[in-house]
Structure 1
Amino acid sequence: MQEPGVDGEILDSIRYVRPGGGFYPKITLFEKTEVNGDGENEIYKFLKKGCDYTDSEYESRLFYSPLRVGDIHWNFEKFLIDKRGKPFARYHPEVTDAEDLYADIDDLL
């Protein structure tokens, strides 16, 4: 529920609102998907199953069910995947400095 817009609205908001001015990102913009609850995407089930959760407390306002202790709590939660495609580590949304991931990345190299 982090991004309330539907897929086409997201690109339009980038082009015309923020940053606006007809800006068009030179990236592939994927469709939105569910990361928690009954409709969660299979990739997120796989990622969450492969790593310990980062936080066991929930905000009072949630928009999905059922609630699970391993749920993704915010859209800046990160997963590090090894060269075989297996989840190696999971990082809390408050981990925002890439340098905090370097030791784990070095372990995988």
Structure 2
Amino acid sequence: MLWQEPAGNGQELLNGIKHVRPGGGFEPNFTIFKKINVNGEDEHPLYTYLKEYCPATRQSFADPDYLFYTPLKTNDIRWNWEKFLVSKNGKPYMRYDPGTKPKDLKNDIMFLLEQEE
């Protein structure tokens, strides 16, 4: 996961989005934050917290020889587009596999929106 987006800072990430993928001058209508680590000894505390409360979506690594971080943990994020849904209170609710389409989260989102804070 570490080398999937080698660009280092926010401007480099934005340039990659604008000119490469998806390219064509695309400008996102959302804030681009800096790159952080989601696994390994330098993982961001937010992901440590989310992974502590939401079980892994896959039980094994496809090919650990291609991973460039240590240590490998069972609860690591396996691929881009894994999603975490968090309640209005900031509590992790569910973790979704990278293949889960955003529209498939609708029922869970609606459920959380109906909950009292």
Q: Does 1:106 align with 2:106?
A: no
Distance in 2 (alpha carbons) for counterparts of 1:24 and 1:103: 30
CA separation of 1:81 and 1:67: change in aligned 2, threshold 3 A? same
Q: For structure 2, which runs of at least 5 residues remain unmatched after alignment?
A: none
Identity %: 46
Distance in 2 (alpha carbons) for counterparts of 1:44 and 1:10: 20
Match of 2:72 in 1: 67
Residue by residue, what CA displacement relative to the aligned partner does 1:7-60 show, whole Å, maximum 9, x if unpaired? 232222233334144x44332110000000000000000111111111111022
TM-score (norm 1): 0.87
TM-score (norm 2): 0.81
Counterparts of residues 8-47 of structure 1 (less than 5 Å)? 8-18=11-21, 19-21=23-25, 23-47=26-50
Deviates more, 1:84-93 or 1:1-10: 1-10
Task: Report the secondary structure of 2:37's partner residue.
Answer: coil
CA RMSD of superposed structures (Å): 1.6
| Structure 1 residue 97, shift from structure 2 partner | 4.3
Q: For structure 1, which runs of at least 5 residues remain unmatched after alignment?
A: none
Give the aligned length: 107
